[in-house]
Structure 1
Amino acid sequence: MDGDDGRGIEREYGRHRKTSRGRFVGLCIVEGNFALQMARPDSIPGRYKLLAVALMAMLVGWAILTVRRGRTTVGAGGVTTRGAFRGRRRAWHDIYDLRVERHNSKNADARLLTWLYDNDGRRFLLRNVDDWQLPALRAEIDDLRTVAAQHRGMAWESRPEVEARIRLRAGHRKAQERAAIWTLLVFFAAVGYLVWEVSVGDEPHPFLLLLCAPLATYTLLVTLFRLRAPRAPAHS
């Protein structure tokens, strides 16, 4: 964190602590296995391997740009968080709350993340404002809320109508996450079936298998899960 002083409103949260060694080794193993699979001589046409390599290269490039460019800046006008290609800004009067919440993934370095909730109940991740980059994260957020109070023009207080919007959006988000998991499984199953088609000499249908089937699965499941989703707690 950079700022005028310990309690200044002008702050910038960037990445100053590197990825843990264990996670770095895990990523290297995944990348190495991918390279090995692509180099193996088999019956899969080269154009499909090139497509897979291009997709992986795009993913790696996006991850690198996110790490290098990702940051959160705080000023008298509000909060801005920036990713690989774009940024999001919220003025203080549009910000409902800043909340530290536990990260569900056990493989991530950060266990606690900070989310910005706006008055419409939407939330945005504040990049690098986590307990991996800031060991005293909760104290930092408490201090930031205190010094930002004068710029908001209102107290940090709970409003039932906003809490209801947060619960509704949390339910929708959970439905999207569940649908995405099942869609990913369908995609990998489609990849396996496509490889089998190519290996036995059948005519492959990559457009139907890799695009249409996953999109149809996601659309159907996200609708179903939203209809069945309970009202999630506001802090979920």
Structure 2
Amino acid sequence: MGGDGDTGGIERVYRRRRRPQLRHLGLMGLLAVNAFFQSSRLFGDPYGHRDGPSGWPPLVFGLLVVTAFARVALEQLRAHTRVTAAGITVQGRLRSRSWAWQNVYDIRVERAPRGTNGMGPQWLTYLYDVEGRRRLLWHLDDWQLADPYAEVSDLCLSAAPYRSLAWEPRSQVEALILRGAARRKAWTWALYGALGVLAAMFVVDFLEIIDGRPDHPFLLLACVPLASFAVLGAVLDRYWTSRPPGSLAQQP
């Protein structure tokens, strides 16, 4: 991170400074290899019980693993956040996007999604625009900074002279932010539900193999979980965006 004294410290660049721990990367690699091996055993059809090709699940899983590792690599090498007197530019894994200060509604430090278990930042920083949409500010978190709250407070103070509006809440934008939070929560729970359905479909497919019945892996392991994700997400989205949960309504 750098600064420019001629612009009141507003010139800053937030890049990766802390490398991912090797034990976390090693654990991810072991889990990926084990899952790939198990899927190969399950769908490799070593006894010829199936008609037609059955090697697509390991192939698809392998592509997903490669894609996931590519995303992590691009995040570490390319992603960063640049702050200037003109506004904020977020360089993502592949594309960049900029906001002029008059289009920035707020900058907030929020708790990271559950499930990181110390393998990632616990606090992340998001930019909210005047339409209530949010965008992650890369590497402005507690992994790269000792105190992201203090950094964001100082950043907002330094940016005040370049804004036409004060850093104060507006009810219309807050309502849009609350609706966006409810929608994200709905689709997150829909994903959890789809993963549960996927686990159940693995059991059903395995039982069909044991019983010698015709099994339908593509239908059970792809179509059914995707359909459940779409249906559950649509239902929860409709319910929670019209009636946000209390936990979301109390967010600052």
What is the TM-score normalised by the length of structure 2? 0.80
1:191 to 1:39, Cα distance in 2 relative to 1, 3 A: closer
Amino acid at match of 2:21: S
Deviation digits for residues 70-110 of structure 1 (CA, Å, limit 9, x no counterpart): 11111222212222222232221111100011224242331
Q: CA deviation at 1:218?
A: 1.9
2:184 and 2:3 map into 1 onto residues whose CA distance is 34
2:153 corresponds in structure 1 to 142
2:89 counterpart (80, 92, 97): 80
Q: Is the 8 A contact 1:198 1:204 kept in 2?
A: yes
Does residue 139 of structure 2 align to residue 128 of structure 1? yes
Q: CA deviation at 1:40?
A: 5.5
2:70 corresponds in structure 1 to 61
1:52 corresponds in structure 2 to 61
Does residue 28 of structure 2 align to residue 27 of structure 1? yes
1:109 corresponds in structure 2 to 120
Does residue 17 of structure 2 align to residue 16 of structure 1? yes
Q: Is the 8 A contact 1:163 1:234 kept in 2?
A: no
1:7 and 1:200 map into 2 onto residues whose CA distance is 73
Flag the structure with more relative contact order, 1 or 2, with Cα contacts below 8 A and sequence separation at least 6.
1
2:102 counterpart (93, 97, 100): 93
Does residue 3 of structure 2 align to residue 3 of structure 1? yes
Q: Which segment drifts farther, 113-122 or 78-87?
A: 78-87
The structure in which a higher percent of residues are strand is 1
Amino acid at match of 1:2: G
Deviation digits for residues 181-205 of structure 1 (CA, Å, limit 9, x no counterpart): 1112223433454466567665554
Q: For 2:125, what is the secondary structure of its paired residue? A: strand
Does residue 249 of structure 2 align to residue 233 of structure 1? yes
Aligned residues: 236
Unaligned ranges ≥5, structure 1? none
Q: CA deviation at 1:52?
A: 2.2
Q: CA deviation at 1:39?
A: 6.7
Q: Is the 8 A contact 1:43 1:199 kept in 2?
A: no
Q: Which segment drifts farther, 121-130 or 73-82?
A: 73-82
What is the TM-score normalised by the length of structure 1? 0.85
Q: Matches of residues 142-181 of structure 1 in structure 2 within 5 Å? A: 142-181=153-192
Q: Is the 8 A contact 1:43 1:198 kept in 2?
A: no
1:112 and 1:62 map into 2 onto residues whose CA distance is 20
Q: For 1:93, what is the secondary structure of its paired residue? A: helix
Q: Is the 8 A contact 1:72 1:80 kept in 2?
A: yes
Q: Is the 8 A contact 2:112 2:122 kept in 1?
A: yes
1:220 corresponds in structure 2 to 231
1:3 to 1:52, Cα distance in 2 relative to 1, 3 A: same
Identity %: 36
1:211 and 1:203 map into 2 onto residues whose CA distance is 17
Q: For 1:79, what is the secondary structure of its paired residue? A: strand
Unaligned ranges ≥5, structure 2? 47-53
1:152 to 1:199, Cα distance in 2 relative to 1, 3 A: farther
1:197 and 1:66 map into 2 onto residues whose CA distance is 41
1:127 to 1:198, Cα distance in 2 relative to 1, 3 A: farther
